[in-house]
Amino acid sequence: MKSWGVLITGLVLGLAAGLVYTWVISPPQYYDTYPPLLDKTYRTEWIQMTALAYGAEGNWNRTQLRLQGLAEAEIRPIVATVLEQAVVAGRPLVTLQRLAELAAFYGVDTPAVHIYTGEVTVVPPLPPASSPTPPVIVPPTATVSSPTATPSPRPTLTAPSPLSTPQPLTALRIVSQTFTCEAQPHITVSLMLSHTITVRRREQVEMLPLPGREVWLLWEDGADRAVTGFKPEVGLERADFAVEPGHVYKLYIDTPQGVPLSTIQVEPCTTDAGEGWVSRLLMLLEQE
């Protein structure tokens, strides 16, 4: 082999060895980097914190700047998780709405996104004060109002929703249901706390209203949310939903996840005034 041939061979081998060294063994250490160059763990944290900050501050432009250069495919699942965790943690509604807005922007398609972005219509929690037809009490045979009343049947198996997480154990139970026949059906939930106090060494049970609790109704293609005590004149423990025949409603308290407290179907009924729909008043008791 000629001298130049040997030189070329050495050059190629040196080049190959040098590239292995600079690209694999000792790549340049960057300073003054930006979020897309962060290690995956830190990138995930950056996205999580950005989502939470948007939930708290609501600054859209700033959020977009913070997420600039990061892959949407990477942002999407993280934002979905942040929203899910925020729902479970019971964050304020405005925070959930912002997180849902952000998640929707990145293509997240979960029930929580639909609920909090308003794609699912949330009807006013209470029916109009002046009802065209006064409520008619269904004959006593149709009224269940005793502490031993069994709640509506619960499904033994429920397919987990994408947001499904173990529902916290709660002492909530339905103690009674009252049915009335009305032209405009509604479901009213009365949420009370059973509180045991000791007076002169004797235990007494007090019933306290529970205002400010979220009550959810979910049906096949929608959801509705009301807060107890929204109209104090009706009762601090009350939350009311206007419902429609033909839907099967699942009742949840606090978060719309897990096994529903009750499954309710709006059924037709007949009274002297004519045909109507069964409205329900559910008395729920939470034991301290």
Partner 1 sequence: MKRLLWFLLGIILGFGLALFIGWELLPIQRANSSPALLRRDYREEYIRLIAAAYQVDGDLPLAQKRLVALQSDTFTTPLIDVTERWIQQGKPDTILIPLVQLAHDLGVSTPAMQPYLQRGQP
**Binding site residues, partner 1, CB under 8 A:** 1, 3-4, 6-19, 21-23, 27-40, 42-43, 45-46, 48-50, 52-53, 55-57, 66, 86, 89, 91, 95
| Minimum gap (Å) between residue 255 Cβ and partner 1 | 17
Angle at 176 between CA 167 and CA 270, to 5 degrees: 115
Q: Radius of gyration of the chain from Cα atoms?
A: 29
Nearer to partner 1, 67 or 191 (CB): 67
| Minimum gap (Å) between residue 42 Cβ and partner 1 | 6
- DSSP letter at 140 equals G
| Minimum gap (Å) between residue 52 Cβ and partner 1 | 4
Nearer to partner 1, 48 or 263 (CB): 48
| Minimum gap (Å) between residue 30 Cβ and partner 1 | 6
Q: What are phi and psi of 55, to 5 degrees?
A: -60, -35
Nearer to partner 1, 70 or 108 (CB): 70
Q: How far apart are the first and last CA of the chain?
A: 93
Host H or E run for residue 95: helix 93-105
Whole-number Å distance between alpha carbons of 83 and 89: 10
Bridge partner residues of 174 (DSSP): 284
Nearer to partner 1, 52 or 149 (CB): 52
Nearer to partner 1, 50 or 180 (CB): 50
The token pair at 160 is 């987990």
The per-residue DSSP string of 199-258 comes to ETTEEEEEEEE-TT-EEEEEETTEEEEEETTSSTTT-TTEEEEE--TT-EEEEEESSS-S
Whole-number Å distance between alpha carbons of 111 and 219: 11
Nearer to partner 1, 55 or 222 (CB): 55
Nearer to partner 1, 32 or 220 (CB): 32
| Minimum gap (Å) between residue 50 Cβ and partner 1 | 6
| Minimum gap (Å) between residue 7 Cβ and partner 1 | 4
Whole-number Å distance between alpha carbons of 234 and 15: 83
| Minimum gap (Å) between residue 80 Cβ and partner 1 | 17
